[in-house]
């Protein structure tokens, strides 16, 4: 994972990292699932534009999907936590994105 600097949405101890080509992971210690889902729900409109400029005169359409997962007693590894978030992410993608 590559850390991403200067993200206004991070809490004091959060970590935002690039996880794949088009995927990012936001780790928020000591944050309950309700607050995490609220953050995801409010972040989509803040991040979403009709098109994002990539260079002078060129822009691309953007959609955003998020998957939220919480660390629970039955989650035994970071890999399992990410797998659960990934499952929800792909459900959001299949439901039309954004």
* Residues 39, 88: Cα–Cα separation, whole Å: 15
For residue 32, give every residue at least 6 positions away whose Cβ sits within 8 Å of its Cβ, in sequence order, or none: 70
Give the active site residue among 12, 22, 23, 80: 22
Predicted model pTM? 0.63
Instruction: State the total domains in the chain.
Output: 1
12 classed as catalytic: no
CATH number of 70's domain: 3.30.70.270
Q: What are 14-62's pLDDT values in tens digits?
A: 777 888 777 888 888 888 888 888 887 877 776 666 677 788 888 887 7
> Residue 70 belongs to what domain range?
2-94
């Amino acid at each position: 994972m590559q850390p991403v600097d200067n993200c206004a949405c991070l809490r004091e101890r959060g970590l935002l990292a690039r996880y794949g080509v088009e995927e990012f992971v936001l780790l928020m210690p000591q944050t309950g699932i309700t607050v995490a889902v609220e953050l995801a729900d409010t972040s989509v409109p803040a991040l979403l534009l009709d098109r994002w400029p990539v260079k002078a005169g060129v822009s691309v359409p953007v959609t955003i999907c998020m998957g939220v997962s919480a660390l629970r007693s039955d989650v035994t590894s970071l890999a399992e936590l990410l797998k659960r978030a990934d499952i929800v992410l792909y459900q959001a993608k299949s439901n039309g994105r954004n």
